[in-house]
Amino acid sequence: MFYNKSNMESYQKLSLLADFSYLEPAEETSVNIERPLISTNSCSGNSDQPIYHAALPGGKKIKLLKSMLTSACERDCFYCPFRAGRDFERQTFKPDEMSNLFSDLVATQTAQGLFLSSGVCGGGIRTQDRLLDTAEILRIKKSFRGYLHLKIMPGAERDQVMRAMQLADRISINLEAPNDQRLPTLAPHKVFLEELLRPLQWAEEIRRSQSPTLAWNNHWPSLATQFVVGGAGETDLELLTTSNYLLNKLHLSRIYYSAFRPISNTPFENHPAENPLRQDRLYQAFFLMRDYEFDLEELPFTTQGNLPIDTDPKLAWARINLSQTPVELNKAEKHELLRVPGIGPQSAEKILAARRRNPLHSVTDLQAIGIHTNRLLPFILLDGHRPAYQQKLFF
């Protein structure tokens, strides 16, 4: 494919924007966010572009371009590499330039989907307009029918949220902190309710009140958000209380928890990095609430309001609640099965199907239907009996 000077300049800008694309988790296959860059060889120097192997909400795997329209930002969030006044080389795409660049990547099968964010430049409303202009060029002029994740800017208007929902497969806005008491520690000039939470509330109101036939593919987009973990002194209980509201009231599909890492030349450059295990425990707790029918009150918080670091929350709950009252696999309802470590939604369905044919008598019966038994044995009964297990392997 022929690349003129304008093409090469665009790819060089994209390559520079790649340096911090890992900070925006989006549709990755793992909660441990990595930076799997793919060389596109699209301009001189074989530049690396921010293309990620990503899993979409339905499980489909695609190559996802993650980029910003601009790394210039007028906000002064204390932890952010793009904050106003930080000394580094900024880059900016115009909507038509970004849409042309992405279309080139789609044409060469380098990318299949786009995650598009931006620094706030000229206000949230004006910045949102540029994001929407880019999406409209892709959907209408370029006839792009692939995956599009659009960020909502702080301070965006309701009509802009509506338009983003008509164009995107997912929209998201970063709450950053769990509440208005914690947010000023991270972002002193953002307003938690009016600027950040309100757009998510509008999106849910639109999904409830407007026909999805207004959307580009006759489906309203899913909703997502992101928290910075460990930057504002927040507890896991605070983060998961807000997460519980977002799941049950606003029906978010995904919440991302990003362990704080200090960035040089920011006010938080000497702030200690957060333990990545804390991020993992929050993800595990989120999935327990979303997929395993756990209530917030059931999660095993310490007296300080945090999850145990050394044990995943489902195992910690089971040790407290199931060690003396194990679950009889031949009689338990699905929601009871889901509380057993090592049993997920698919495993629970396998157990329910198998026992309709014949009772489960042994560990061998479980293994025969594809159940991994190393985690569940201390917490179950089979025909009223505890299966034998070696305690040292599991505790």
Residue-wise pLDDT for 181-191, tens only, equals 999 999 999 99
Q: Tell me, what's the pLDDT at 32?
A: 29
The CB-side HSE value for 86 (13 A sphere, CA atoms) comes to 25
On whether the 322-393 domain is CATH 1.10.150.320, my answer is yes
More confident residue, 330 or 24: 330
pLDDT at 270 over 50: yes
Spatial neighbors of 17 by CB under 8 A, at least 6 apart, are 50, 67, 68, 71, 91
Q: Rounded CA gap, 335 and 217, in Å?
A: 34
| pLDDT, tens digit (0-9, with 9 covering 90-100), for 52-86 | 888 887 788 999 999 999 999 999 999 999 999 99
pLDDT at 30 over 60: no
Q: Tell me, what's the pLDDT at 81?
A: 93
What pLDDT band is residue 39 in, cutting at 50, 70 and 90? very low
pLDDT at 364 over 80: yes
What pLDDT band is residue 36 in, cutting at 50, 70 and 90? very low
pLDDT at 96 over 90: yes
Q: Rounded CA gap, 165 and 214, in Å?
A: 9
**Domains of the chain by residue range:** 5-226, 322-393
Asked if 137 and 96 count as a contact pair (C-beta separation under 8 A), the reply is yes
Closest by CA to 177, choosing from 157, 158, 202, 154, is 154
More confident residue, 51 or 249: 249
Closest by CA to 351, choosing from 361, 337, 341, is 337
Range of lowest pLDDT (18-27, 137-146, 154-163): 18-27
- Asked if the domains 5-226 and 322-393 are classified in one and the same CATH topology, the answer is no
pLDDT at 101 over 90: yes
Across 370-377, average pLDDT: 92
On whether the 5-226 domain is CATH 3.40.1000, my answer is no
pLDDT at 313 over 70: yes
